[in-house]
Amino acid sequence: MADARAVLRVTDELLWMLRRSGFAIATSQAIDAVRAVRAVGLESREHVREALAAVVVKRGRERATFDAVFEAYFAREPRRTLWERLAADGFADAEIQVVRELLDALAAVQPDGALGPLVHRGAELDRLLQLAGATRLLDSMQGPLQSGFYTHRLLEEVGTWRAQDELASLRVQLVDALGEERANALVASLRREVQRAAEDVRDVVKSTLARRAADANRGEDVLAAPFASLDPVEVEEVRRAVRAFVQRLRGGERVRRRRARRGRVDAHATLRRAMRTGGVPLRLLRRARRREKPRLLLLCDVSDSVRSVARFLLELTYSAQELFERTRSFVFVSELGETTALFAEETIERALAKAYGGAVVPVTHNSSYGRVLRSFEERVLRDVDRRTTVVILGDGRTNYQSDAAEVLDAIRARARALVWLCPEPRAQWATGDSAMSRYAPKCTRVLEVRCARDLEDAARLLLALR
């Protein structure tokens, strides 16, 4: 079994580096990490890597950062303790022991003192940063132009200037114990440690900015990537982005409803009422704003050519149902099938699995837009009114069968809006068996939806059409 102190030291230093790289590691996780490393020992670096990754890494995309930090830790020179650094500066063991005792006494008298953690640096500085709320403070930093201000704020929070006063107090005690010459030399060495700690704090701000920029660029890349090119990890990232977007929409709707309950100020009625009293006092009169929720009808092609897009649109619609008074959803390939009850009774994962598995309509057939549109006209069109927005997702590929484009005229005549979301670029709408060049003029709006960013724009349009 590995030496317990060696395991604790190695794990503590590595966790410190991981926290600096953006990993949120709770105390309970740190304890589990030490237990995991003790279980596998320090003989095999690969075993240590996998043991720590099992505890620390929560998402697949974090693994590359973890591996880079792990390799950087073992590639550098071992981090020395404060006492080893003082010994390397030429101080005797007796002098180092005096400093140790005085720092311990100072920590006992001032538990929130800054000097001890700053001169120890490493994990001690990391804990000081956590106590100072570094993460919460840096969350407000908007960009590199603010880095100087937030660095100054963070240095103040961790107590780098307060440490100078504590160091002056410590010098008096060192002079009494060791004489002025050795005390001055020790104080100079400790002051350099405080300055190095301040540099570590500046590095925290720089690394936070760099990590945030990298995450933003990666997030933008994923949201702008075509749905068909996403790997399983990126699919999950886009799903989380879609859910976060829906939450923002819900929050905005709740704010609008809360404001609508108060009503708008009716300037005309207010002035007329004020004429009775010469404008003193002035009583504001409000006018209730009536805004009915729209109804939504969604027709979604689930054939292989558009399945990647359909999944996200159905998930977005499922999550955003409260924004509409009534939502009805249909899927189709060559037949039209309603999934409203399915999505109401099942979780989104089970509902999508059944829709794609052929439980609603056969999914192995070729698309037949003409048959689907005529079926919609016969079964559903009578339920469409001026409060209904009809959304069709599909590539408009008819397999050279009837396109039934005239049905869109009937839908447009009855609906509030008819929106077509097409996953193919506009340049391909008049090629091969595509009927989009005939469908597009009959719709209120036609949008290209090839990535998550396009899907967000489409959702905003649907809400604006209310």
Q: Residue 344 sits in a domain of what CATH number? A: 3.40.50.410
Statement to judge: residues 67 and 146 lie in one domain: no
Statement to judge: residues 354 and 374 lie in one domain: yes
Statement to judge: residues 337 and 451 lie in one domain: yes
Distance of CA 284 to the CA centre of its chain: 43
Statement to judge: residues 440 and 329 lie in one domain: yes
CB 286 within 8 A of CB 265: yes
Pairing verdict, β 445-448 and 336-338? unpaired
- Chosen domain end from 75, 106, 121: 75
Scanning the structure block, which residue is given the tokens 């009536």? 290
pLDDT at 104: 83
Ramachandran assignment for 226, one of left (phi > 0), alpha (psi -120 to 50 degrees), beta (any other): beta
pLDDT at 373: 94
Does a cis peptide bond (omega within 30 degrees of 0) precede residue 78?
Answer: no
pLDDT at 119: 78
pLDDT by residue, tens only, the chain of 466 residues: 456 666 777 787 788 778 767 777 877 888 888 888 888 887 888 888 898 888 888 877 778 888 888 887 776 655 677 787 888 888 888 888 888 888 888 878 777 777 877 777 766 776 677 666 666 677 667 677 777 887 888 888 777 888 888 888 888 888 888 888 888 888 888 888 888 888 878 877 787 777 666 665 554 566 777 776 676 777 777 777 777 766 666 655 555 555 555 667 777 777 777 777 777 777 777 776 555 566 888 898 888 777 777 777 777 777 666 667 788 889 898 999 998 888 888 887 788 888 888 888 888 888 899 999 999 999 999 999 888 889 888 888 888 899 999 999 999 999 989 999 888 888 888 888 889 999 999 999 998 888 888 888 887 777 776 6
The residue range of the domain holding 236 is: 232-287
Statement to judge: residues 96 and 68 lie in one domain: no
Statement to judge: residues 339 and 439 lie in one domain: yes
Statement to judge: residues 267 and 361 lie in one domain: no
Scanning the structure block, which residue is given the tokens 């209120």? 444
CB 264 within 8 A of CB 295: no
pLDDT at 69: 81
Report yes or no on whether pTM surpasses 0.85: no
Q: Tell me the one-letter amino acid at 444.
A: T
- Chosen domain end from 169, 200, 224: 224
Statement to judge: residues 347 and 442 lie in one domain: yes
- Chosen domain end from 287, 303, 321: 287
pLDDT at 1: 45
CB 45 within 8 A of CB 11: no
Q: Tell me the one-letter amino acid at 300.
A: C
pLDDT at 215: 60
Statement to judge: residues 352 and 441 lie in one domain: yes
Q: How far apart are CA 19 and CA 11, in angstroms?
A: 12
Statement to judge: residues 25 and 117 lie in one domain: no
Statement to judge: residues 99 and 148 lie in one domain: yes
3-state secondary structure string, 259-318?
A: HHHHCEECHHHHHHHHHHHCCCCCCCCEECCCCCCCEEEEEEECCHHHHHHHHHHHHHHH
pLDDT at 28: 82
Statement to judge: residues 316 and 423 lie in one domain: yes
Q: Please give the structure tokens belonging to residue 210.
A: 């760099």
**Domains in the chain: how many in total?**
4
